[in-house]
Copies of this chain bind each other. A is one copy, B any other.
Amino acid sequence: MGNAAVKQATETWVYAFGGGTADGDASMKNLLGGKGANLAEMAKLGLPVPPGFTISTAVCTAYYDTGRAWPAGLEAQVDAALSTLEASTGKGFGDPANPLLVSVRSGARASMPGMMDTVLNLGLNEAVAAGLAEKAGGRFAYDSYRRFIHMYSNVVLGLDHEEFEHILSSYKERKEFELDTELDADDWKEIIVRYKKAVEEDLGRPFPEDPREQLWGAISAVFNSWMSDRAIIYRKLNDIPESWGTAVNVQAMVFGNLGDTSATGVAFTRDPSNGQAIFYGEYLINAQGEDVVAGIRTPAPISRERAATLGSSDAPLEDSMPEVYAQLREVAAKLESHYKDMQDIEFTVEDGKLYMLQTRSGKRTAGAAVKIAVDMVREGLITEEEGLMRIDPSALDQLLHPRLLTDQEFADLNTKRRNSGQEALPVYDVIVRGLPASPGAAVGKIVFDSEEAFHLANKGEDVILVRLETSPDDIKGMHAARAILTARGGMTSHAAVVARGMGRPCVCGASGIQIDYNAGTLTVRGRTFRAGDVITLDGASGRVIAGAAEMVQPDLSGDFGELMGWADKRRKLKVRANAETPVDTRTAVEFGAEGVGLCRTEHMFFEEERIPAVRTMILSNDERGRREALAKLLPMQRSDFEEIFRILGDRPATIRLLDPPLHEFLPHTDEDIAGVAKASGLSAEELKRRANDLHESNPMLGHRGCRLGITYPEIYEMQARAIFEAAVNVARDGGVQPVPEVMIPLVATYRELEILKALVDETARKVFAEMGVTLDYMVGTMIELPRAALAAKEIALAAEFFSFGTNDLTQTTLGISRDDAGKFLTAYSDKGIYEKDPFVTLDQEGVGELVKMAAERGRAGRPGIKLGICGEHGGDPASVEFCHRVGLDYVSCSPYRVPIARLAAAQAAVRNGTK
């Protein structure tokens, strides 16, 4: 403490602002908090900021370092700042003749719920209130005083809010008052007596009369709230270090409630819902800020443009106070061009004079963000790179799918409805929250069966498929449905992965719900929904909503294309898509994919007309039988590949040979087996026996991937033949040179790849000889097992490319089945074990180390080896940045995430340099 004390004695703890000058500025957020730094900046810009001072975050740190003692020098500095404030306002703190009242607000570096927010009107006591009553009227003075006692008792003294509400409402009841405005000065005086009595009874001491005691009480309360349980939890969840601390802002009060020449309001320099350059916001005449929040009176629109949008007939500020409005617009324009971003500002008009209370970057929808960024670049306000960095890549999802309204949009819509005489919409009836597995929102009727989903959709119905979990059998129903809801499964369960690939909204692992297929019911918290009931699914938040909610349709404006163009100029990573259907491949190309990074050939096996041949192949007891069945599949696979090659043109396609265990293609329940047997003419007994034979305890770690190629080489041979024949056929048509990259999955050793590469090469040689055309192609492997990462140097000797299958690599490295993780991953993130779902954002310390190691070893084994990633992480911005840093050549993701990956790759390049 010795040294610290010495240091403290010489340190500046308090930073004043106001009167066209300030000790701090916007760059000092760490020391002054966001609010304090912006108040200082505005003061320096000469804007009309009520004067005040900021007690720095360093005080907070010192306070906790010394067991909650004030650092030396602080009190003197606060006293000095208060004197300066008195001088600049010409008022006296605690002076009944001309009282200075202040607000006390917390302000950390990052906005942080859970902390003490605000105490207004501080500095009032009996004498000061009487003095104020002389100057500004008794009703205003005692109304302000009772507000102060209520607020201070609650947030500083820790008393129950309800107690004060109760005193007030009893009084109003007895006096038969309806509204607060009916109470006069004497009524408020009576209330004040009762408030003070209650405080004294609760605390055993009277409410503080000394303004300085009130001020230090409020300052302490702000600092103490830094260590409140809620604040601690919030910091843990959001990775905010405890050492940051909070600042305290003490500012002279200005009053928007001094009569009809006073007002208070909030404004945005552009429309935060769509980014249009209109002056947006709302205000209330004769009110304090808390009245806007309380919602008792409805605020009016700030500008004529805004009023027109809402169809409002209330007078905008532009009309009611034209001079103040002109000044406010000027200030707003100055702030936006100064901060080079759309601003969210708070202001108060006291007796015709404008005061700025806060400015900060405004929250906005993704569409607004894109429009604002592009407009600002056009306006010359920011550079293209700055424009790029303004957009959260994940938010682009909102642009590509229908979505629910934001809270602000919802409020606006209801305002509009009310203004046009319609009834306001009820708030969303959220019946359960699951995992936000695939973005977008959809409305439809509940259907529990995939077959039925298909039939109803064919009749033009919008349906939502609801399943315990999905399997490959459900693909048809998932495609037909508007959205998918499952009770089980995590962010990378079958349902989630397939839904993302198809661009269908999906909510997974909604573990509160019970589904009874036989009864056709979904039950959750005592409420039962039946097949045919309409629900809304929000894949972006995981909400399941009863009934049909309002939605916003996607709108890809030209701005979006322009932004993507800037991204493409800067990124170093190429972006491919995971796609195996012509529809997906076309979507991917439209979204800017530069090739297919993962074409899962087994998806082609599940189609209705093919699965009988697949099953016959599986039921064969010998190679000859399997070859006969495979011969039937060959032309179908070939035509699949032809179509994909045609869509892709000269773009490369990484085609993964058969990966899932064979039992996935067989029916499992007795009922299904009987059905398949009947439909296909196969023996039910045989089907059952074979399904039993193939049963696996842990299919994820079973007889799959290249293990199928090793044990049944004829399968891989057929697939390789289909690929090469298709490539030659498309090349012969002219104009296009397909680039097949044949990928062997689940390799763990060099030898596996050596054996299977030889098979593929031999097949290519035969096909090219038969067809008289030779094409370039590559053979490579997925790195999706820890052993493959460890042995990457050796494996690279046989691999022309690596594609990191980070889904399976995460499963094996962490020992977590993505299908089963839902049961504990929530507890895990609650306890801070995995900060983010490792199936969504790459676990950089664990899985990432293996990726890095494999990239290095792979390059050691084969300099210049092509490296990509094709796990779900390929569309996650943080993971894309990791891929950039590790120096991969490309990322591959769901078609709908391609724009996200393109932007994230560009941001990574801007942030890290392109090396």
A807-832 with Cβ < 8 A to chain B: 808, 811-817, 819-820, 823-824, 827-828, 831-832
| A808 to B812 Cα, complex, angstroms | 10
Chain B residue at minimum C-beta to C-beta distance from A755: B831
Q: Which residue of B698, B700, B748, B850 contacts A814 across the interface (Cβ within 8 Å)?
A: B748
| A790 to B755 Cα, complex, angstroms | 30
Nearest-neighbour CB distance to chain B for A625, whole angstroms, equals: 18
B847–A787 touching, CB < 8 Å? yes
Chain B residues whose CB sits within 8 angstroms of the CB of A819 once the complex forms:
696-698
What per-residue 1/0 map shows which CB atoms of A826-845 lie under 8 Å from chain B?
Answer: 01100111100000000101
Contact of A863 with B by CB under 8 A: no
| A703 to B511 Cα, complex, angstroms | 15
A688-737 with Cβ < 8 A to chain B: 696-703, 705, 707, 710-711
Chain B residues whose CB sits within 8 angstroms of the CB of A816 once the complex forms:
701, 748
Chain B residues whose CB sits within 8 angstroms of the CB of A817 once the complex forms:
696-698, 700-702
Known contacts A787-B846, A833-B710: A746-B815 contact under CB 8 Å: yes
Chain B residues whose CB sits within 8 angstroms of the CB of A849 once the complex forms:
790
Contact of A610 with B by CB under 8 A: no
| A820 to B702 Cα, complex, angstroms | 6
Nearest-neighbour CB distance to chain B for A418, whole angstroms, equals: 45
A759-798 with Cβ < 8 A to chain B: 784-787, 790-791
Nearest-neighbour CB distance to chain B for A659, whole angstroms, equals: 12
Most B CB within 10 A of own CB, among A697, A699, A785, A846: A697
| A84 to B748 Cα, complex, angstroms | 57
B698–A820 touching, CB < 8 Å? yes
Contact of A749 with B by CB under 8 A: yes
Chain B residue at minimum C-beta to C-beta distance from A662: B823
Chain B residues whose CB sits within 8 angstroms of the CB of A698 once the complex forms:
698-701, 817, 819-820
Chain B residues whose CB sits within 8 angstroms of the CB of A755 once the complex forms:
831, 833
Chain B residues whose CB sits within 8 angstroms of the CB of A230 once the complex forms:
none
| A850 to B786 Cα, complex, angstroms | 9
Known contacts A749-B834, A812-B812: A701-B820 contact under CB 8 Å: yes
A813–B786 touching, CB < 8 Å? yes
Nearest-neighbour CB distance to chain B for A253, whole angstroms, equals: 46
Nearest-neighbour CB distance to chain B for A54, whole angstroms, equals: 36
B699–A700 touching, CB < 8 Å? no
A833–B711 touching, CB < 8 Å? no
Copy total for this chain: 2
Known contacts A697-B817, A820-B701: A828-B710 contact under CB 8 Å: yes
Contact of A640 with B by CB under 8 A: no
| A699 to B820 Cα, complex, angstroms | 8
A814–B787 touching, CB < 8 Å? yes
Q: Which residue of B697, B812, B843, B845 contacts A813 across the interface (Cβ within 8 Å)?
A: B812
| A845 to B850 Cα, complex, angstroms | 15
A790–B845 touching, CB < 8 Å? yes
Contact of A568 with B by CB under 8 A: no
Contact of A346 with B by CB under 8 A: no
Contact of A378 with B by CB under 8 A: no
Contact of A911 with B by CB under 8 A: no
A831–B710 touching, CB < 8 Å? yes
A824–B703 touching, CB < 8 Å? yes
Nearest-neighbour CB distance to chain B for A290, whole angstroms, equals: 40
Contact of A751 with B by CB under 8 A: yes
Chain B residues whose CB sits within 8 angstroms of the CB of A752 once the complex forms:
833
Nearest-neighbour CB distance to chain B for A677, whole angstroms, equals: 20
| A705 to B827 Cα, complex, angstroms | 14
Chain B residues whose CB sits within 8 angstroms of the CB of A831 once the complex forms:
710, 751, 755
Chain B residues whose CB sits within 8 angstroms of the CB of A828 once the complex forms:
707, 710
Most B CB within 10 A of own CB, among A701, A790, A823: A701
Nearest-neighbour CB distance to chain B for A6, whole angstroms, equals: 34
Q: Which residue of B787, B820, B827, B846 contacts A697 across the interface (Cβ within 8 Å)?
A: B820
Chain B residues whose CB sits within 8 angstroms of the CB of A847 once the complex forms:
787
Known contacts A698-B698, A833-B749: A813-B827 contact under CB 8 Å: no
Chain B residues whose CB sits within 8 angstroms of the CB of A820 once the complex forms:
696-699, 701-703
| A831 to B755 Cα, complex, angstroms | 9
| A849 to B812 Cα, complex, angstroms | 16
| A812 to B749 Cα, complex, angstroms | 14
A316-370 with Cβ < 8 A to chain B: none
Chain B residues whose CB sits within 8 angstroms of the CB of A786 once the complex forms:
786, 812-813, 815, 846, 850
Chain B residue at minimum C-beta to C-beta distance from A661: B820
Known contacts A751-B832, A828-B710: A790-B701 contact under CB 8 Å: no
A787–B843 touching, CB < 8 Å? yes
Nearest-neighbour CB distance to chain B for A173, whole angstroms, equals: 42
B700–A701 touching, CB < 8 Å? yes
Nearest-neighbour CB distance to chain B for A517, whole angstroms, equals: 12
| A828 to B748 Cα, complex, angstroms | 12
Chain B residues whose CB sits within 8 angstroms of the CB of A748 once the complex forms:
814-816, 846
| A846 to B707 Cα, complex, angstroms | 18
Nearest-neighbour CB distance to chain B for A857, whole angstroms, equals: 11
Chain B residues whose CB sits within 8 angstroms of the CB of A707 once the complex forms:
824, 828
Nearest-neighbour CB distance to chain B for A62, whole angstroms, equals: 28
| A248 to B842 Cα, complex, angstroms | 61
| A633 to B849 Cα, complex, angstroms | 42
B697–A699 touching, CB < 8 Å? yes
Known contacts A697-B817, A711-B827: A751-B808 contact under CB 8 Å: no
Nearest-neighbour CB distance to chain B for A782, whole angstroms, equals: 11
B703–A791 touching, CB < 8 Å? no
Q: Which residue of B697, B705, B711, B827 contacts A700 across the interface (Cβ within 8 Å)?
A: B697
Chain B residue at minimum C-beta to C-beta distance from A748: B814
| A823 to B694 Cα, complex, angstroms | 9
Nearest-neighbour CB distance to chain B for A364, whole angstroms, equals: 35
| A306 to B177 Cα, complex, angstroms | 123
B850–A811 touching, CB < 8 Å? no
Most B CB within 10 A of own CB, among A701, A815, A847: A815
Chain B residues whose CB sits within 8 angstroms of the CB of A811 once the complex forms:
701
Chain B residues whose CB sits within 8 angstroms of the CB of A834 once the complex forms:
749
Chain B residues whose CB sits within 8 angstroms of the CB of A812 once the complex forms:
701, 786, 812-813, 815
A35-87 with Cβ < 8 A to chain B: none
Apart from A703-B820, A785-B815, A812-B812, what 20 extra A-B contacts exist at CB < 8 Å? A696-B819, A696-B820, A698-B698, A698-B820, A700-B701, A701-B817, A701-B820, A703-B824, A707-B824, A710-B833, A748-B816, A748-B846, A751-B831, A751-B833, A785-B813, A785-B814, A786-B813, A786-B850, A791-B845, A808-B815
- A interface vs B, CB < 8 Å? 696-703, 705, 707, 710-711, 746, 748-749, 751-752, 755, 784-787, 790-791, 808, 811-817, 819-820, 823-824, 827-828, 831-834, 843, 845-847, 849-850
- Could you name 7 residue pairs across A and B whose Cβ atoms are closer than 8 Å? A701-B811, A702-B817, A702-B823, A705-B815, A749-B834, A752-B833, A785-B815
Which 7 interchain pairs have the tightest Cβ spacing?
A: A701-B817, A698-B817, A787-B846, A786-B786, A702-B820, A785-B815, A697-B819
